Amino acid sequence: MKFYQYIDTSVNKKLIAYESVDNKIYKLDISGVDNTLDLFDDNGELLNIEEKNLKLLAQNYDEFLKLKIKLLPPVDSPETWAFGVTYMDSMKERQAESDSPDVYDKVYNSDRPESFFKATYERLVPPGGKVGIRGDSEWNVPEPELTFFVCKNKIVGFTIGNDMSSRSIEGENPLYLPQAKVYDKSASFGPAFVPIQSIDNPQKLFVQMKILRNDKEVFSGKCNTNQMKRNCDYLLSWLLRHNNILDGTAVMTGTGIIPPPEFTLNPSDKIFISIENLGTLENEVIIV
C-alpha cells in the first residue's frame, strides 16, 4: 500500500492517490481527508481505506505518471530533519574529505547520534523536481537515504530521501555543515508515502542510486539499511529528546552510498534513488 499527493493539472486541484498491493492506482476520496496527514487519527493510527473511497486512475505507477498530474511531496512535512554518519562508509568518506577527521570517528562511536535540521516544507523539491548544487561549492553529491515520517511521536511510514550535500564546504570545516546541507533546493523526498504496516523490516531494505549524464551512467552504487549502525527507532528516540516534533515531520536516516572522491554532480545530471518496496525518487540537478 502506498499514497501519493499530486496536482491534477486539468483542474489545478491537490489530490491523494492510493496504490493497492496489486500496484493499481486509485484516486482517494474521503470526506475531510485533504492530505495524507488527514489519514491519521488522534492516536496516529491509519484510517481504513474502503472500496467506496477509490476510483481507478491507472493500471500502474508508470501509467499514473503519464496522466495530467504533477507529483507533490507525499506528506506535507512541516519540517525535515536528518541524521548523519549512520553507516561506516559515510564515516570513512567524511574522514577522508576533512581536515578534522576525528569528529566523524567520535560521532560514529558515541551514543548520541549526529542530527541536523534540513528543510521546511517550502524548501522541499517535489519528486521529479530539480535539486540544487550551490554555486559556491566545487564538490557536490546526492545522498540517498531511507526516510521516515513521524506522527504522534511514532514512526508511521517511510519514503526515499535525497540529502543534497556539498562535500567541499563540509570538508573545509565541520562547522560549515549547515551551509553544506541547507540551501535552496537541497532536500527532496518521495514519490510515495508507504505506511509502516506495509514494510516488514525497515532495517533490511536494499538501496540503490544511479546518476545519468547525457543519458550515460556516470555513477551507480548500492547498500542495505541493515548496514546502519543505529536503527530508525533509536534515531527517533534521540530526535524527540527535549525537542517537540510536529506531526508529519520527515527524518532522513543517513547515507550508505557515497560516490568516489573524483565524482561531483553537474547541472542536468539525473539522479535515480530506489529503495526496496518504496519505489524510485528521480531528480535533475541545477545550480542554485
Any contact of residue 188 with Mg ion (CB under 5 A)? no
Q: H helices of the chain, where?
A: 61-65, 88-97, 102-109, 167-172, 177-181, 232-239
CB 28 within 8 A of CB 17: yes
Q: Select from 202, 207, 201 the least CA-distant residue to 224.
A: 207
CB 171 within 8 A of CB 98: yes
Any contact of residue 167 with ligand DO4 (CB under 6 A)? no
Grid coordinates given for 44? 496516529
Contact with ligand DO4 (CB under 6 A) among 15, 26, 28, 94: 94
In the complex with ligand DO4, which residue's Cβ is closer, 74 or 254? 254
- Span of 28-36, 53-61, 80-88, 267-275 interacting with ligand DO4 by CB under 6 A: 80-88
CB of 41 to ligand DO4, least distance (A): 33
Whether the bond between 261 and the residue before it is cis, its omega within 30 degrees of 0, is no
Q: How far apart are CA 89 and CA 179, in angstroms?
A: 22
CB of 119 to Mg ion, least distance (A): 12
Any contact of residue 143 with ligand DO4 (CB under 6 A)? yes
Contact with ligand DO4 (CB under 6 A) among 16, 17, 81, 84: 84
In the complex with Mg ion, which residue's Cβ is closer, 73 or 256? 256
Q: How far apart are CA 163 and CA 177, in angstroms?
A: 12
Contact with Mg ion (CB under 5 A) among 93, 143, 170, 282: 143
In the complex with ligand DO4, which residue's Cβ is closer, 19 or 114? 114
Q: Which residues bind ligand DO4 (CB under 6 A)?
A: 82, 84-85, 90, 94, 114, 143, 163, 170, 177, 254-255
